[in-house]
Structure 1
Amino acid sequence: MPSTIPLRDAIKRGRGARPALIWRSAGVRLALAAFPLWCTAAVLILWTPWRLKLLVGGVASLAFASPAAGLLATALLAPFGATLQTLLGVPYRMSEAIVLAFLAGWLLRGRLDPRGPALPSAMAAAGWLLALTVVCSIAASAFALAQYPGLLPQTARDLLQAYYIYPDRVGVIEGARLLEGLALASATLFVFRLRPSIAVSLPATLCVSGAAAATLAVLIWRDIGPATLVERYARLGYRVAHVGDPNAAGSYFAMLVCLALGMAGRASGRARAGWMALVVTNAVGLWFSESRTAIAAAAIAAALAAAWVRSGHWTRRARIAALGMVLVVGIGASFGRAKLLERDPTFRGGGFRQQFNATSFRMIAARPLSGVGIGQYYQTSSLFLSPRMAWIYGFENAHNYFLQVAAELGIPGIALFLIWIGAAALVIARALARVADPRLLGAAAGVLALLITCLTSHPLLVNEVAFSFWIQFGLALGLAESSLMNAAPLADHPQAGARRRKFWPVAALTAAAIVGAAAVRVARGPVEPPRSTVVDGLYEWETAEDGRRFRWTEGYASLFVPADVTRVSVPARVPIDRRAITPMGVEVASGGVLLGRTRVGDSWTTLVVALPEMSPPAKLKRIDLKVDRTWQPALYIAGSADLRDVGVQVGECELER
């Protein structure tokens, strides 16, 4: 039984439907195209290497002439942005340049299909509201930057003249990546409706691109290939070549292994042999990434897909129970392995992930409605990391993409993102329940595998991986909708218009709330670290026998000072003269960089700390302390009942600007 109906006929049945707003209004379409069009034109007009002009101009021209061909070129080239940057010798974000060139050409082409991307109503509404959330978040960050004379105009000039090498201050780059992903998924669905044959050619292009990346990794591992890539491998020791993050590379290969398996399940003869070769090659890339999470995610997604196929003739209740059992076993095995790893003294990832999650929850609690700002998590993390994590990392991302979105865009932002994903997942689930299409099952399993890895890493912060994911996401939705086209298309359903009209009041109220939350964020001013021992590692203030105020440190402790402070004098001592305790070594760091080490005895010693410059709009600097050992005063000081684990006493600091 064919798994899809002829899409041309389905599209013709929808010709009488009211076109989507983007195709009804040339003004709206050109407004959406303005940003990608300017970024593409800037590459072509301003001084850039001719090879870069040829690449970007070629993709834009191809997308304008044939959106399907432009999408295939984007799917093929986007995973190699970092590699192209190295080969061309230009410090550009090449993957983003390729994607924006495609989007510019696609939007300028116009209304080939008057219905546009057939997104479910809830998904479309969530997408537009999420875009509004991102724009308001950037605007709030820009308002904060405007307090520094000259910085906001300079930022605007950087955006206009050198976007692809722009040092981000207000979250434009991170926000653009998310919105470009939504646009890329919508464009993929649009092209799928226009050219149903990409149901085969697009998966082939994605998997061939992954196979090329895996082959490149093997060659670089064997010291074969461009000298710069070989040197980077030798320096970092990563067995992946096309991206610098091995966990993100693992997520990418896990997604493509599932996709290739699904395509192999539908093919036959030589075509199946070709798909199996792509399965093996991408599996080699997955193995080379050495990402435990990605390998486990691929196994869980494949097991769920296999259970879905095997249970096709079962009742719905039995099928759900079987799938739930597979999921529980997979998650249980993952947790069991995590517990074993935590007991391994050579492995520290599991415990650190728990602390990263705690950091994210503290950040969410600080700004639950507006978030700290898109693209601001990394810089803001120094205010919320535990003292030990701040000592090791200085600054770090969330290592959980969903928590990172929640921290940056607030609870409304993550809710809209999950609605966008969830609405598509419902369509895919309905289609899989109706027709067992191996292509759809493989594409959906790949999307699921990558989303699983987002729970412990952030592959969608890596352009080369994120853009491939959104293309496959749109492909899975397109395959699902083609399976459901036997029924009247959503836009032609007699109740569809009424449902859409009900969305408008809710969407308007949500939009007003988003704008209001951004305004409240601006009014509240910069975020501050929570006053808690889990963040600063300092106990409450006490008074010494000489009248000096002090605080005990734990094994790790942190001090926060204004960003304009250049030098800090920190008095410290250990109020006991015992060989087992004193002198106590105290190391000082800031931003993950060691600044010095001082031995502290039973008299007050001043630690003089010269602090590095901080880029606006940062308001605080963090000074991290690490002591050689902790001890309990009750065991060493007569008459003391203090059983706390303490390090040294830290007095009131003197600040120099």
Structure 2
Amino acid sequence: MPSTIPLRDAIKRGRGARPALIWRSAGVRLALAAFPLWCTAAVLILWTPWRLKLLVGGVASLAFASPAAGLLATALLAPFGATLQTLLGVPYRMSEAIVLAFLAGWLLRGRLDPRGPALPSAMAAAGWLLALTVVCSIAASAFALAQYPGLLPQTARDLLQAYYIYPDRVGVIEGARLLEGLALAAATLFVFRLRPSIAVSLPATLCVSGAAAATLAVLIWRDIGPATLVERYARLGYRVAHVGDPNAAGSYFAMLVCLALGMAGRASGRARAGWMALVVTNAVGLWFSESRTAIAAAAIAAALAAAWVRSGHWTRRARIAALGMVLVVGIGASFGRAKLLERDPTFRGGGFRQQFNATSFRMIAARPLSGVGIGQYYQTSSLFLSPRMAWIYGFENAHNYFLQVAAELGIPGIALFLIWIAAAALVIARALARVADPRLLGAAAGVLALLITCLTSHPLLVNEVAFSFWIQFGLALGLAESSLMNAAPLADHPQAGARRRKFWPVAALTAAAIVGAAAVRVARGPVEPPRSTVVDGLYEWETAEDGRRFRWTEGYASLFVPADVTRVSVPARVPIDRRAITPMGVEVASGGVLLGRTRVGDSWTTLVVALPEMSPPAKLKRIDLKVDRTWQPALYIAGARAVI
């Protein structure tokens, strides 16, 4: 039946979906609301600055009174979490506080769930199973931490009393970010069902927020604005002001440029002029980010969208061929540029990115079914980085969000995440094939652009970007389902219930496998580094003339010692006297921090290394060595197997 809202862009509500589980069961809804409600209540009840109470309480109250208004407020404010933190002088994760306040207000009030756009069955099942995967991963990490007396209770107290301040050791914060994103997408669909006119107001809010972020970047770049923000920009040296990661900022602006272009294609007259102004402003933000990947992703997504529009009257085969051609050209151009950059001696990103990917694959191979634990990639990376990367970084993220999810949650986790994305993509593709809606095309292109950047960076690890993405993701899915409902007869589909019932056995088996994988992870104990030259940079053991056993190193090499070791003595020498070889400087580092330098000659020299403390549950410390130059022992020493 038609929408009762007298707007040209109103969405017709279909009758093909029953109410979601959280609205059919008060127990499920209140269980899901417990965490955001506690975090929000803690801000309001415990000692916190009054400005923070006002902000969080205002968003929660607004979401309780009007979910649509609460969602708009969240979309407007969430990108400025780091900015609000600096301006208010409070060390809180402000974006997450705003999102949890919205979710608490939205879930707390029970309401009838109107029929309309909803999560596809496969998508809903994948979401619930992904949530189970995250919970099991956190539980396994908590079990490992429990072996250290007092640490698990202390971590629990910190999370309960000051969730937005203290980091945790078991992955609660990282897991919550992912699940909060899924919840935001579902909440956006609910608001579509409740208030169809949000199809216009939500894109406007997202793009206005991006325009404000771009304007702030320009002002701070010109030393205009609050002194705290200007000083922060000067310290970081970036041309973006609302987040500390310029690549993530580029992904954010690329997404919004595509969305604004789609809305401009839908509008006319003064409205189109307004949308074009938002396109230009967000494009300025994209340019200021200086993110090559984000700019290329925006160009590829825009080209695909343009090809889709231009090929609207072609046959399906011709349309697929044209889109494939655009995609091949875009990827080919990106690949060619990457090759040119690799030949530039001043550019290191391409080669480093390949080594980051290799690190992730080694981590996945170590724990393929359970992963190393949500939120554990950064600390665990020191066990899998190549010696050179460990020397430079010490610890690092994957620089590929999909590989990071796979390494932390295992192959089942990344499979469920991809099913969640793919199920929505299928609905969007069906809608675009049937209905020419520039608004949907722009929203989908923006989602695609950000997902492309996830192949070379991790924008979804940044709260300010991740929450905006999931809102636009829900927006694109809502627009797609609404278009399909408007284009097809509105009738009930009794076979939908049968399809859902078929998911239960598969979902139950998958859930059991997820729990079993977590149990196996606990039984196997801490992850260990692979015994490979690509990780430690050491050759096989040999025996010197004096009977002492030794190992040759490459230009970079690493040693692993127990985490409780604070001092290590490493004997080293260069066992031949040649003018071009000895003496040779050897530098020692740990965790990316230089600890000392020693000159080593043809007699044994002891490198005494004082190691920094490591936080549990880490079991190993990594000691990284770097020699001034390499040489080929096999050319000088009979029987030497190393060719460095």
Smaller-chain TM-score bracket? over 0.9
Partner of 1:480: 480
Alignment check: 8 A CA contact 1:229 1:241 kept: yes
1:12 and 1:146 map into 2 onto residues whose CA distance is: 53
Alignment check: 8 A CA contact 1:117 1:187 kept: no
Deviation sequence 1:249-282 (CA, Å, 0-9, x none): 0000000000000000011111000000000000
Deviation sequence 1:48-107 (CA, Å, 0-9, x none): 000000000000000000000000000000000000000000000000000000000000
Question: Greater CA deviation, 247-256 or 13-22?
Answer: 13-22
1:502–1:72 CA distance, 2 compared to 1 (3 A):
same
3-state SS, counterpart of residue 564 of structure 2: coil
Alignment check: 8 A CA contact 2:117 2:481 kept: no
1:175 and 1:78 map into 2 onto residues whose CA distance is: 18
Stretches of 4+ aligned residues off by more than 6 angstroms: 1-13, 487-491
Q: CA deviation at 1:631?
A: 0.3
CA RMSD of aligned residues (A): 2.1
3-state SS, counterpart of residue 637 of structure 1: coil
1:289 and 1:15 map into 2 onto residues whose CA distance is: 44
Gapped runs of 5+ residues in structure 2? 640-644
1:96–1:472 CA distance, 2 compared to 1 (3 A):
same
Deviation sequence 1:321-360 (CA, Å, 0-9, x none): 1000100000011000000000000000000000000000
Q: CA deviation at 1:634?
A: 3.5
Deviation sequence 1:474-505 (CA, Å, 0-9, x none): 00000001101136799931211110010000
1:112–1:570 CA distance, 2 compared to 1 (3 A):
same
Alignment check: 8 A CA contact 1:359 1:381 kept: yes
1:589–1:9 CA distance, 2 compared to 1 (3 A):
closer
Alignment check: 8 A CA contact 2:16 2:490 kept: no
Q: CA deviation at 1:635?
A: 3.4
Alignment check: 8 A CA contact 1:20 1:114 kept: no
3-state SS, counterpart of residue 164 of structure 2: helix
Q: CA deviation at 1:633?
A: 1.9
2:30 and 2:327 map into 1 onto residues whose CA distance is: 45
1:295–1:3 CA distance, 2 compared to 1 (3 A):
farther
1:406 and 1:595 map into 2 onto residues whose CA distance is: 33
Q: CA deviation at 1:228?
A: 1.9
Question: Greater CA deviation, 52-61 or 22-31?
Answer: 22-31
Deviation sequence 1:531-588 (CA, Å, 0-9, x none): 0000000000011111111000000000000001010000000001112111110000
Alignment check: 8 A CA contact 2:182 2:470 kept: yes
Q: CA deviation at 1:19?
A: 2.6
3-state SS, counterpart of residue 7 of structure 1: coil
1:415–1:16 CA distance, 2 compared to 1 (3 A):
closer
Deviation sequence 1:295-339 (CA, Å, 0-9, x none): 000000000000000000000010001000100000011000000
1:465–1:638 CA distance, 2 compared to 1 (3 A):
same
Alignment check: 8 A CA contact 2:15 2:116 kept: no
1:169 and 1:18 map into 2 onto residues whose CA distance is: 40
1:232–1:215 CA distance, 2 compared to 1 (3 A):
same
Alignment check: 8 A CA contact 1:3 1:483 kept: no
1:612–1:605 CA distance, 2 compared to 1 (3 A):
same
Q: CA deviation at 1:235?
A: 1.9
3-state SS, counterpart of residue 487 of structure 2: coil
Alignment check: 8 A CA contact 1:5 1:485 kept: no
- Percent identity between matched residues is 100
Q: CA deviation at 1:232?
A: 1.9
3-state SS, counterpart of residue 11 of structure 1: coil
Alignment check: 8 A CA contact 1:5 1:486 kept: no
Deviation sequence 1:577-611 (CA, Å, 0-9, x none): 11211111000000000000000000100000000
Q: CA deviation at 1:32?
A: 0.2
Note if 1:360 corresponds to 2:348: no
1:520–1:490 CA distance, 2 compared to 1 (3 A):
farther
What TM-score do the two structures reach when normalised by structure 1? Answer: 0.95
1:500–1:398 CA distance, 2 compared to 1 (3 A):
same
Alignment check: 8 A CA contact 2:114 2:194 kept: no
Q: CA deviation at 1:111?
A: 2.2
Alignment check: 8 A CA contact 2:211 2:278 kept: yes
Q: CA deviation at 1:390?
A: 0.1
Question: Greater CA deviation, 309-318 or 627-636?
Answer: 627-636
Question: Greater CA deviation, 8-17 or 599-608?
Answer: 8-17
Alignment check: 8 A CA contact 1:8 1:194 kept: no
Gapped runs of 5+ residues in structure 1? 640-657
Deviation sequence 1:210-230 (CA, Å, 0-9, x none): 000000000010011121221
3-state SS, counterpart of residue 327 of structure 2: helix
1:33 and 1:249 map into 2 onto residues whose CA distance is: 30
3-state SS, counterpart of residue 599 of structure 1: strand
3-state SS, counterpart of residue 80 of structure 1: helix
Partner of 1:652: none
3-state SS, counterpart of residue 350 of structure 1: helix
1:282 and 1:238 map into 2 onto residues whose CA distance is: 17
1:12–1:440 CA distance, 2 compared to 1 (3 A):
closer
Q: CA deviation at 1:3?
A: 14
What TM-score do the two structures reach when normalised by structure 2? Answer: 0.97
Partner of 1:654: none
1:24–1:6 CA distance, 2 compared to 1 (3 A):
farther
Q: CA deviation at 1:17?
A: 5.9
1:314–1:15 CA distance, 2 compared to 1 (3 A):
closer
1:6–1:182 CA distance, 2 compared to 1 (3 A):
farther
1:4–1:190 CA distance, 2 compared to 1 (3 A):
same
1:24–1:638 CA distance, 2 compared to 1 (3 A):
closer
Alignment check: 8 A CA contact 1:20 1:115 kept: no
Partner of 2:537: 537
1:485–1:5 CA distance, 2 compared to 1 (3 A):
farther
1:491–1:598 CA distance, 2 compared to 1 (3 A):
farther
3-state SS, counterpart of residue 399 of structure 1: coil
Q: CA deviation at 1:625?
A: 0.1
2:271 and 2:11 map into 1 onto residues whose CA distance is: 29
1:180–1:369 CA distance, 2 compared to 1 (3 A):
same
Partner of 2:642: none
2:14 and 2:152 map into 1 onto residues whose CA distance is: 47
1:445–1:14 CA distance, 2 compared to 1 (3 A):
closer
1:54–1:103 CA distance, 2 compared to 1 (3 A):
same
